[in-house]
Structure 1
Amino acid sequence: MGGDSKGQASEAAAPVELELEVTGVAHGGVFVARHEGRVVFVSDTLPGERVLARVSDTRHDRFWRAETVRVLEPSEHRRPHVWQASSIERDPADRAGGAEFGHIELGHQRELKHQVIADAFTRMAGVAEAPEVEGIQESGKRADDERDGTRWRTRVRLHVDEEGNVGPYAARSHRVIPVADLPLATEAVERAAPLGETQMREGIIDIAVTSEGFVSVTRPDAAGDIGRRPQVVHERVGDRRFALESTGFWQVHRKAPEVLTRAVQDAVDDSLFDPRAFNLDLYGGVGLLAAAVGDRFGPTTRITSVESDERTTDHAAANLAEWIGAQTVTARVEDYLRDLTARSSAGERSRLRAGTVVLDPPRSGAGREVVDMLAGLAPAQLVYVACDPVALARDLGWLRDRGYELRSVRAFDLFPNTHHVEAVATLTRAG
């Protein structure tokens, strides 16, 4: 291997290509190979393949990164990529990001995601069993399987570069890749996306199509991204209607709000649930999961939803208005818990210990400070919704160290043709 192993390969030097045997899957949509004893994380392949890969990053002492440029011995689970813009036929620098598992048969994608969860649970949480990854059911069928894992995204973010090109970023890059289609998006989102347009302002474009069929396209205005004005849209989940900003957080898979509503309702142990206790919905967004709890246990259920964005909290307050015991608070979760820990009375602490906490943190997870404060408040049960299995496993390990036991966990394939997976875990106090 030539070049400086401490720095990025020089653009002037000829790219270094290696023949590699791919042996496993790693978190983040990449795969594991070794070259002269060093780990190489390789994209656009899968375990069991022998590939020719171009080294792109040698900055780290412990590992390098590379992209597959040719498959020498394919896996039986390889298939033609669902998105030509991301396929191996393109140069690695010109591959659109966002569909890193699109070359893998869908059932095997779920097995690989299971392996990532199992490895993280074993290493970081001391948990020997990991859930299988469930495909999403619709009318008794696995609808995503019938579509090869396409046409599920109801929200897409595109970028416009300084030359007016419109598209997603390339993987691990801020380089815009112009594309002709968006196969992971629903047909309505793809039709609304300004693909191929020219003379657009540099910035971000958000496309959203709601469950009620409303189409929202938020573009940069004359002031750029700072001046973008999102619309208020509505999403329906069962009989419930939720107001939110068109650019605000909402689950992107068209069935995800229903799936997670049911999963959280099932995850709450009703023998431990007290509707009069100090129940919490942390990282609450516009109130989807607080509503799930309220729908299961009745309109007098007491639950406080905590969200850091003020406009989102305003929407949550309106969305939860029919629940008499529902409150909304605008605060960072760590700040709210810190204040709650400092000021809570003996009566509040008793109600907290009887409470149920639902938390749906960002991809980085809840983190050590939040875990420590939650464990100190000692609620009866925690229902943890996670979109990153490694962050979940890390937090589970800390919670187990602080006296909680993992009672159940399910995993859902809410991001087909990507490495992402959603999980819902229930923890209760040990003893």
Structure 2
Amino acid sequence: MSTSPSETPAARLTVTVGPVAHGGHCVARHDGRVIFVRHAIPGETVEIALTEHDADAKFWRADVTRVLEPQATRVEHFWPEADALRAAARGAVPVGGAEFGHISRPGQLALKTSVVREQLERLGGLSAGAIDAVFGGVEDVDAPGTPEQQAGLGWRTRVAFAVTPGGKLGMHAHRSHDVLAIREMPLAVPAVNALRLWELDFTGIERVEVAAPANGSAALVLLSTREGLSEKAAGHAVTRVSRALAGREEPPSVARLNPENGGITIASGRGWVRETTADHEFRVTGDGFWQIHRKAPQVLTDAALGFLLAGGHLDDGASVADLYAGAGLFTAPLADAVGPEGSVLSVEGSPGTSRDARKNLHAATQVEIVQGRVERILGAPARQARSAAGQRRHFDAVVLDPPRAGAGKAVVKALVASSPSAIAYVSCDPAAFGRDVQYFANAGWRLKKLRAFDLYPHTHHVETVALLVPAGAGGVVLGR
């Protein structure tokens, strides 16, 4: 038994890397101890530096510092500040946000496919054969062979930055409060880097958020000031940044964000951005939710509504729901699909984002927009008394797009009680999706179709779109 690495803060070990796991790391073992290793590839032999290694911890965490036996899918990291190997060589740590940047694009897709399958088996209770019947692997959203597909860069339309103690633009190291200065963000769309934010003085600012729509319309920079700063000093900090950005070739709007209530104070321009899909335009205020990848809104809309349309669940006059609806990305095409004789219930918890939805869909009379908790709204009486008072809402179909934590048992229970014929479930977290699949299974529902998209290249994140149906309507059978 070796000496416990917890006795030396910079402890180094040599390990052979095991399978990829959900969360952006691989699993390795040393003297019986599980170590979650970032910046590795399954099958490699690597030297690691332990980053979390308390003697009584169930597992440790580590970063790769040197590769002794690489895998064929290893490539040079595209971003020096995020490269663990180059960071280790200079005695530093990498910034987070590009933890798969050392893996070839095909290699990333293969690892993400493995993660989706593992979560469905372990948490969703599906057999390998059942998964094979509905899932063909994670898909790239860019055309095969194109520079965009091969590079996987320039896709983020929304980026959040931290600020160093010296007022420079930065990003956090993984699981750390340390902020490291940066001078580029290769994953961001060109409009973000064109702002050259790393040239500015952000003294007094805690957080910088940028929204740069893929349609090329004006960007928005949101500034959160440091806690404890006087109102006068905070105002000066925001004004200084706003004036500096006014000199850019295409100046963005600038606003101050109140993180406590989501309210914004406009310093220049406007407090919202204009987002578009093939058929609709959306106003998204402040830090309101919108899909990050430049192609994600259209890809996810096509997949989710494609499932429902192919199954005949969106006929004219149908009653449908869009849950966790945001600014109306799915609500708008749902309204088109069911026509003026149908009805669409759009539920969003954020007051500001719900207000955006009202503006975006004010002309769609078949849409009812409700702000509140999904499980509470689902149990409320219908707005129009088409049946006895107090009766639960009934839907022909539902689009469910919950936050990263998933829908959860209470929402699944309330949703099943509304008796839809099908649910298109959009998820950004395979573990949360796997748990919810099991909740649906316990309620007598089955997974009928599943697609997954690599909408977060060079990171461990993956987006899935599933079609869930009552057991009697078919779908894969649980069990091993």
Q: Verify the 8 A CA contact 1:207 1:217 in the aligned structure 2.
A: yes
Comparing 299-308 with 88-97, greater Cα deviation is found at: 88-97
SS at match of 2:370: strand
- Partners of 1:21 and 1:377 in 2: how far apart? 50
Offset, 1:14: 4.3
Query: Are 1:159 and 2:162 counterparts?
Result: yes
After superposing the two structures, state which structure 1 stretch, 122-131 or 300-309, moved more: 122-131
The CA distance in 2 between the partners of 1:389 and 1:272, in whole Å, is 25
3-state SS of the aligned residue for 1:396? helix
Which residue of the partner structure matches residue 62 of structure 1? 58
Tell me if the contact between 1:29 and 1:419 (Cα under 8 Å) persists in the aligned partners.
yes
Classify 1:225/1:176 alpha carbon distance in 2 versus 1 (closer, same or farther; 3 Å): farther
Q: How far apart, CA to CA, are the structure 1 residues paired with 2:366 and 2:392?
A: 14
Relative distance call for 1:381 and 1:20 in structure 2 (3 A) is same
Q: Could you list the per-position Cα deviations for residues 84-129 of structure 1 after superposition, in whole angstroms to 9, with x for gaps in the alignment?
A: 1111210385311100000000011010000000011111112231
CA distance in 1, matches of 2:20, 2:346: 37
Within the alignment, does 1:73 sit opposite 2:69 as a pair?
yes
1:132 to 137, 140, 148: 137
Seen in structure 2, the aligned counterparts of structure 1 residues 274 and 199 have a Cα distance that, compared at 3 Å, is closer
Aligned positions of 1:61-140 closer than 5 A: 61-87=57-83, 88-91=85-88, 94-127=93-126, 128=128, 129=131, 130-137=135-142
* Contact 1:22–1:49, Cα closer than 8 Å, also in 2: yes
Q: Shift of residue 26 of structure 1? A: 0.5
Correspondence 1:319 to 2:360: yes
Partner of 2:468 in structure 1?
427
Match of 2:192 in 1: 189
Instruction: Describe the shift of the 1:141–1:93 C-alpha distance in structure 2 as closer, same or farther (beyond 3 A).
Output: same
For residue 94 of structure 1, give the secondary structure of its aligned residue in structure 2: coil
**Which segment is superposed worse, 85-94 or 35-44?**
85-94
The one-letter code sitting in structure 1 at the alignment partner of 2:117 is A
Distance of 1:193 and 1:402 partners within structure 2: 52
Alpha-carbon distance, 1:339 to partner: 3.6
SS in 2 for 1:158: strand
Q: Sort the Cα spacing of 1:54 and 1:141 in 2 relative to 1 into closer, same or farther, 3 A.
A: closer
1:35 to 30, 35, 39: 30
What displacement does 1:217 show? 1.5
What is the CA deviation profile of residues 245-294 of structure 1, one whole-angstrom value per residue up to 9, with x for unaligned ones? 14211111111111111111211144233554442111000000111222
Number of residue-to-residue matches in the alignment = 422
Measure, in 2, the Cα distance between the counterparts of 1:161 and 1:255.
Answer: 32
Choose 211-220 or 409-418, whichever is displaced more: 211-220
- The structure 2 residue matched to 1:240, chosen from 280, 287, 294, is 280
The match for 2:439 is 398
Would the aligned equivalents of 2:171 and 2:179 in 1 still touch at CA under 8 Å?
Answer: yes
Structure 1 pair 233/55, CA: closer, same or farther in 2 (3 Å)? same
Structure 2 unmatched ranges of 5 or more: 226-233, 236-255, 473-480
Distance 1:176 1:325, change over 3 A: same
Task: Determine if contact 2:19/2:27 at 8 Å carries over to the other structure.
Answer: yes
Report the secondary structure of 1:192's partner residue: coil
Cα separation, partners in 2 of 1:78 and 1:290, compared to 1, 3 Å:
same
The answer on 1:291 being equivalent to 2:300 is no
Q: CA deviation at 1:177?
A: 1.1
Output the amino acid matched with 1:167.
G
Q: In structure 2, what residue type is equivalent to 1:89?
A: R
Alpha-carbon distance between aligned partners in 1 of 2:292 and 2:438, rounded to the nearest angstrom: 28
TM-score when normalising by structure 1: 0.91
| Aligned twin of 2:265 | 229
Displacement of 1:338:
4.0
Distance in 1 (alpha carbons) for counterparts of 2:157 and 2:9: 41
1:158 aligned partner, one-letter code = F
- 119-128 vs 55-64, greater mean Cα deviation: 55-64
Q: 1:315 to 1:74 in 2, by over 3 A?
A: same
CA distance in structure 2 between the partners assigned to 1:364 and 1:37 by the alignment:
31
Q: Which amino acid aligns with 1:321?
A: H
Q: Does 1:384 align with 2:383?
A: no
Contact 2:319 2:338 in 1 (8 A): no
Identity %: 37
Deviation at 1:193, TM superposition (A): 4.5
Q: How much has 1:23 moved relative to structure 2?
A: 1.6
Q: Write the distance in 1 (CA, Å) between the matches of 2:313 and 2:386.
A: 22
**CA contact 1:349–1:377 (8 Å) conserved in 2:** no
Kept in 1: contact 2:46–2:67 (CA 8 A): yes
TM-score normalised per structure 2: 0.82
Amino acid at match of 2:320: N
2:179 aligned counterpart, secondary structure: coil
Tell me which residue corresponds to 1:262: 302
Q: 8 Å contact 1:152–1:253 — kept in the other structure?
A: yes
CA distance in 1, matches of 2:388, 2:444: 22
User: Retained in 2: the 8 A contact 1:136–1:144?
Assistant: no
